[in-house]
Amino acid sequence: MEITASLLLQQLFVGLALGAIYVLVAVGLSLIFGLLGVVNFAHGAFYMLGAYVAVYVYGLTGSFWACLLLVPLAVGLLGLLAERWLIRPLYGRGVDYPLLLTFGLAYVLVDSVRMVWGVQGEAFATPEALRGAVDVGFGVFPLYRLFLIGLCAGLLLALWLFIEKTRLGLIIRAGARDPLVLKVLGIDVGRIWLLIFGLGTALAGLAGLLAAPLRGVNPEMGGSVLIEAFVITVIGGMGSLVGAIVAGLLVGVVVAMTTLFQPEFAELAIFALMAAVLILRPNGLFGKS
Amino acid sequence: MNLLSALTPAATRHRVLLSIAVLALFPLLMPFHALAINILLFGLFGAGYNLTFGYTGKLSFGHAAFYGTGAYGCGILIATHQVPWPVAIAVGMALGGLVALLIGALAIRTRGIYFAMVTLALAQCVYFAAFHATSLTGGDNGLRGVNLPALQLGSWRLDLLQPLNRYYFMLGFVAVAIWVLSRILNSPFGAVLEAIRENEQRARASGFDVERTKLLSFVISGLFCGLAGALSAINLATVGIDMLSYHTSGQVMMVTLLGGMGTFFGPFIGAGTFLAMEHALTAVTERWQLIVGLMFIGLVLFFPKGIWGSLLARIDR
C-alpha cells in the first residue's frame, strides 16, 4: 500500500470523526467527575444504551432526526434516576463506593439489553440524507463523518456558552470549585449534581447513537469505549473539559493512524500514549497539580 | 455473643492455623471437589487482592493482569517447554510481581481515583498484548496442555487427576501463602499499610515513604495473585485469555467485597459464596451477569462490610 498525502488526510479525518465521539463520551465523564467526584463506570453502558434506544426509536419512527432528539432525552432520564436512587445515598462515603456501584450498574444494563435484544447485535444504517461524500475544496469526505464533527463542535460550543454565560452555568462552575460555599449561599447542590449526571449520561447516549452507523450496535460496545474514555481523561487531566476535548481528538487521530500503518498496534498505541503522559505529566496535559 | 467476643482475640492470634484447618476440612464437607479447588485458588487470588484493596485502601482494577500473567507464565513453561513444575510456578509468581511492579510504577504516581482508571487501562494493555501474541499464548483459543498428571518423588507417586489429591496439593501452597500474608500484616510494614489506608497525609507526615510502601504492597499483592494464577493454570490444564480480561478484575473485587474487605479470611468466604452461587445459578438461568450486577449494587448500598466483615463487627459489639 502506498502512503500518499491524500490517504493520510483521509485517515486524519476518520480519526477526527472517531475523536468527536470520544470527546462526547469523555466530556460527560469529566463533567460528572469534576462536580460529583464520581467515576462513572456505567458510562460505557449508557453509551451502549443510546445506540439501542436509537435502534428502537428508528424502528418506530423511521427517522434519524427523531433519534437525535429522543435518545439523549431517554438516556439522560435514566441517568437522572440512577443518580437519584443509587448514587445519591453514597455521597460522603468515599470515592470508591460510587465507582463499585456504577460498575455493578453497567453489568445490569448490559445484561438487560441482552435480555431484550439478544446477544447478536443490530445493524444501524447511515441516515439517507447523510450518505455519500462531499468535496470540501481540499478533498472528498464522507458526509456522515462531516456531520458528526460539525454536530459535536456545535454541541461543545453550546455547552461552553451554557457553562460560561448562563446563571446556571455560573452555579455549576462554583459547585466544581467549592460545593460547601454553594450550600451556604442557599443553593440546592443536590439538584445541580442530579442535573449534571443527567447531562453527562445524555451526552454518552448521544455518542452511542452517533457511533451506531459507523461501528454497529452490540451489548459489549460500551466496554472498550469506557476504557478509551478513561485513557482520554487521564491524558487530558481529570475533570478538565478542555483536556477531554484535546485528548479525545488526539486519541481518535492516534487510533486512526496506527490502524493505517500497524492495525494490530491500534489498541496498544493509546495505552503507550497514556503511559508517556503519566511519566511526563502525572496530572494529565491540562490537569491542575 | 459474650463467649464469642471473648474468643475473638485467641482466634485472631491463631488465624493462620484456623484458616488452614477450615480450608483442610472444606472439601470433606463439600461434594463438588472441582468447585472446591476453584474456590481455594480464587480465595487466594482474593487474599492477594485484599492486600491492595482492603489493607492499603487502593481500589485497583488491574489485578487480572497479575493473575493472568502468572497463569500464562507457568502454563507456557509447562506446556511448551516441559519445565519442571516447581520452577514454572515460581516463574509465574515472579511474573505476577514483575507486571505489578511495572503497572504500579506508573499508577502509584497518580492520586486517588485516577488509580482505578490507570490500573484498568494498563491491565487492558496486557490483555491486548497477550491477545495478539498468538504464537506464545494461543490468543483467543487459549493455551492448552498445561498437564501435571502426577507428582513423582522417587517411588512415591501422587495422582493429581484425583480431585481430592489435587486440592491438598494446592492447599500446600495456599497454606504457606496465608502464613506469609499474616506475617506481613502483623509486621510494622503491615501497620504502615493500614496507616496509609486510614490517612495518607498523616502517614506521610509521620515520616513514612508512602509511595514506596504502596508500590511494595502492590508488588507483594501481585506475587500472591501471580501464584494464584499459576496454580489455576495447573488446575485447569488450560489458560484462557479471559483470565486477563477486566471481568476477572471485577470478579476478584466482588469476591473481596462480598467476603469483607480488609478481613483476613473474608476473601475465601467471598470466593466460596460467589463461585457456589455461580455454579448453582448458571445451571438455571442465563442472566448470571445481571445477578452479579445486582449483587454489586446491593452490597455497596446495604452491606458494605460483606459477609465476614459484618459477622466480625457483630461479634465485636
Is residue B1's pLDDT more than 60? no
Are B132 and B113 contacting, i.e. CB atoms less than 8 angstroms apart? no
- Relative to beta strand A140-142, strand A133-135 is antiparallel
Domain that holds residue A275: 5-122+148-280
Which CATH number is A268's domain given? Answer: 1.10.3470
Measured CA to CA, the distance from residue B227 to residue B148 in angstroms comes to 16
User: Residue A267 domain-assigned?
Assistant: yes
Place of cell 491500534: A266
Grid cell at residue B229: 494464577
Question: If DSSP codes are grouped into helix, strand and coil, which group holds residue B153?
Answer: strand
Q: Is A244 on the interface with B (CB under 8 A)?
A: no
Sign of CA dihedral B71, B77, B80, B82: negative
Beta strands in chain A (DSSP E): 133-135, 140-142
H or E element at residue B159: strand B156-159
Asked if the Cβ–Cβ distance from A90 to B296 is below 8 Å, we say no
Reported as a single tens digit per residue, the pLDDT across B258-302 is 999 889 999 999 999 999 999 999 999 989 999 999 999 999 999
The residues spanned by each domain of chain B are: 2-250
Residues 6+ apart with CB under 8 A from B219: B97, B100, B101, B104
pLDDT at B236 (0 to 100): 94
Q: Which of A108, A114, A234 sits opposite B121 (nearest CB)?
A: A234
Say how many CB pairs under 8 Å bridge A and B: 107
User: Residue A134 domain-assigned?
Assistant: no
CA–CA distance from A249 to each of A27, A205, B185, B219 (Å)? 12, 19, 46, 35
User: Residue A74 domain-assigned?
Assistant: yes
Measured CA to CA, the distance from residue B290 to residue A112 in angstroms comes to 7
Percent of chain B predicted with pLDDT > 70: 98
Percent of chain B predicted with pLDDT > 90: 74
Mean pLDDT for B290-315 is 91
Closest to B244 (Cα-Cα) out of B98, B77, B72, B79: B72
Paired strand residues for B156: B153
Measured CA to CA, the distance from residue B219 to residue B110 in angstroms comes to 17
Mean pLDDT for B305-312 is 89
Contacts of residue B125 in chain A, CB cutoff 8 Å?
A: 268, 271
Q: Which of A39, A107, A267 sits opposite B293 (nearest CB)?
A: A107
Contacts of residue B110 in chain A, CB cutoff 8 Å?
A: 234, 278, 282-283
Measured CA to CA, the distance from residue A21 to residue A26 in angstroms comes to 9
pLDDT at A275 (0 to 100): 87
Mean pLDDT for B167-176 is 96
A64-68, B10-14, B68-72: lowest mean pLDDT where?
B10-14
CA–CA distance from B313 to each of A239, B57, B248, B269, B305 (Å)? 37, 19, 29, 16, 9
Question: If DSSP codes are grouped into helix, strand and coil, which group holds residue A217?
Answer: strand
Asked if the Cβ–Cβ distance from B106 to A267 is below 8 Å, we say no
H or E element at residue B150: strand B150-153
Is residue B92's pLDDT more than 90? yes
Reported as a single tens digit per residue, the pLDDT across B139-170 is 888 999 888 888 888 788 888 889 999 999 99
User: Residue A289 domain-assigned?
Assistant: no
Q: Which of A93, A112, A227 sits opposite B124 (nearest CB)?
A: A227
Measured CA to CA, the distance from residue B119 to residue B106 in angstroms comes to 9
Paired strand residues for B159: B150
User: Residue A268 domain-assigned?
Assistant: yes
Is residue B14's pLDDT more than 90? no
The minimum CA-CA distance between B47 and chain A, rounded to whole Å, is 19
Amino acid at B181: L
Residues of chain B whose beta carbon is less than 8 angstroms from a beta carbon of chain A are: 59, 106-107, 109-110, 112-114, 116-118, 120-122, 124-125, 128-129, 132, 246, 250, 253, 257, 287, 289-290, 292-297, 299-301, 304
Closest to B304 (Cα-Cα) out of B111, B53, B8, B15: B53
Are B297 and A86 contacting, i.e. CB atoms less than 8 angstroms apart? yes
Q: Which of B113, B290, B296 sits opposite A101 (nearest CB)?
A: B296
The minimum CA-CA distance between B121 and chain A, rounded to whole Å, is 6
Q: Is A154 on the interface with B (CB under 8 A)?
A: no
Reported as a single tens digit per residue, the pLDDT across B18-30 is 999 999 999 999 8
Is residue B13's pLDDT more than 60? yes
Q: Which of B246, B290, B304 sits opposite A112 (nearest CB)?
A: B290
State the CB neighbour count (10 A cutoff) for residue A52.
27
Complex ipTM > 0.95: no
Are A108 and A46 contacting, i.e. CB atoms less than 8 angstroms apart? no
Amino acid at A210: L
List, for chain A, all residue ranges whose pLDDT scores fall below the cut of 70: 1-2, 289
Grid cell at residue B51: 492486600
pLDDT at A266 (0 to 100): 81
> Long-range contact list for B6-10, CB < 8 A, 24+ apart?
B8/B312, B8/B315, B8/B316
A38: closest chain B residue by CA = B113
Give the number of domains in chain A: 1
Asked if the Cβ–Cβ distance from A271 to B121 is below 8 Å, we say yes
Is residue B109's pLDDT more than 80? no
Give chain B's mean pLDDT: 92
User: Residue A85 domain-assigned?
Assistant: yes
